[in-house]
Amino acid sequence: MLLGLAVTAEAAARQESSARQLSVSPTSEVATRQCTESDLYAGWPRVHHDPLYASARPNPLESLLGCAVVDLEHASLSQDDILTLAREVATNGTVVAGLTRLRLGSVGNTGNAGASAVADVLRASSTLQQLDLGHAQVGAAGAAALGEALRGHPSLATLLLDWNPGVGDAGAASIAEALVGNLFLTTLSLERSAVGDAGAAALADALRVNTALRTLRLEGNAIGAAGGAALGEMLRANGAVASLSLHLNPLGDGGATALANALTANAALGELDCGAAGVGDAAAVAIAAMLRANGALHTVRLHSNAIGDDGAAALGEALRTNTALRELDLQLNAIGARGADALRAGLTDNYTLRTLRLEHNHVTAALGQELGDDEKEIPAALAADISALLERNRAQAGIVDDARAEKAWHSATSLARSSAR
């Protein structure tokens, strides 16, 4: 269990001292190249039927000189290749001083040994800003090694450990411990890494005192109501996290309600994704109550849940007074004509929402229709009204001709057209 330790001035001084000791001399040659597998290993990548495929790769040291970015995503490296690469980088001051990004995503042979070797690179570097070890068979031991290297690191801003189910709660806790005194990491991804309630609680404890992290991606894990509540309590105190993804977690109404209650007083979080998280009407009502008080959230994603007309009605009422929300994603729920009409009514008084996604919601019995693949989801006139109100808001914001805005509200206009057929 993490203690609520504050980041001390002494810890900050240690990080600054480390940065000075490892910094590149002003006369050093600045690395600028982006190096891929073919740049580092002459004649590679090879296909499996190539007679030379099984031969040892050349030592990459000379090729590494001048590389600011080493991008080996999807490369067919053996664990020995990774160990050699990491050793050459970590022990060569010229190479490690110029490296800013190391991408080993989807290099499945990395494992714990490879992650530990990469941790040595992290310890040796004061310039590395992005480290990608997603889908690399990293387990809890590898995450622990990376966590140790992350403590007090003076430059790493992005750490991607997604799609590593071996990380689990223990690995998440190791990373969390490193966050307590870290002043530089701004993005952490642990998507689909078997993080449960205990791991979420460990991260929440760390983020009560961490003031650097801005983006936390926890999609596709096993975080339930208890984990959601822990993250909610963290958000009451944290003033830094701006984006939180809990998509594809079993939060349920309990976890989502706890998050909503905490966000009533949070002024930092701008983006919340609780799609496919078991959210129903009860949590939607709590989220609506939060939106009446919250002035920071600009994007809320609640797609692929079980929100019905009652939840949509509450959200529609919240839209009457909310002036911060720009995007609300409610596609793939159970909203019928009554809920959609409530959203339309809320939009009448709302001039700031620009995107409202309602595709693939159910037709209710009140419409006198049975649900079917070819049935109209929302009456054409109602869909057209919603589309017109969103277009009004975009025009008022001066983005009616912006191509990106056009793409953002395409869902509403396509809904109106499909309903009219």
List, for residues 273-317, the tens digit of each pLDDT value.
Answer: 999 999 999 999 999 999 999 999 999 999 999 999 999 999 999
| Percent of the chain whose pLDDT exceeds 70 | 81
pTM of the complete model: 0.86
pLDDT the model gives residue 54:
66
State in Å, rounded, how far the first CA of the chain is from the last one: 58
Structure confidence at residue 15 as a pLDDT band (50, 70, 90): very low
pLDDT the model gives residue 400:
58
Q: Which residues pair with 327 in a beta bridge?
A: 299, 355
Burial label for 377, CB within 10 Å (0-12, 13-18, 19+), is buried
pLDDT the model gives residue 5:
38
Range among 92-96, 369-373, 399-403 with highest mean pLDDT value: 92-96
pLDDT the model gives residue 333:
94
pLDDT at residue 372 greater than cutoff 50: no
Provide the token pair at 227: 């984990």
Structure confidence at residue 345 as a pLDDT band (50, 70, 90): very high
pLDDT the model gives residue 362:
66
Task: Kindly report, residue by residue over 240-275, the tens digit of the pLDDT.
Answer: 999 999 999 999 999 999 999 999 999 999 999 999
pLDDT at residue 12 greater than cutoff 90: no
User: Containing H/E element for 69?
Assistant: strand 67-71
In 3D space, the residue among 156, 149, 85, 99 whose CA is nearest the CA of residue 120 turns out to be: 149
Mean pLDDT within 381-390: 91
Mean pLDDT within 38-52: 75
Euclidean distance between CA atoms 132 and 116, whole angstroms: 14
pLDDT at residue 202 greater than cutoff 80: yes
Task: Kindly report, residue by residue over 81-114, the tens digit of the pLDDT.
Answer: 999 999 999 999 999 999 999 999 999 889 999 9
Q: Which amino acid is at 386?
A: I
Residues 6+ apart with CB under 8 A from 104: 72, 73, 77, 82, 110, 114, 118, 132, 133, 136
Mean pLDDT within 113-140: 97
pLDDT at residue 334 greater than cutoff 80: yes
pLDDT at residue 127 greater than cutoff 70: yes
301-336 burial: b if 16+ Cβ within 10 Å, else e: bbbbbebbbbbbbbbbbbbeebeebbbbbbbbbbbb
Peptide bond into 250 cis (omega under 30): no
In the chain, where are the structural domains located?
28-137
pLDDT the model gives residue 47:
66
3-state secondary structure of 208: coil
Structure confidence at residue 415 as a pLDDT band (50, 70, 90): low
Residues 6+ apart with CB under 8 A from 173: 2, 198, 199, 202
Euclidean distance between CA atoms 408 and 396, whole angstroms: 16
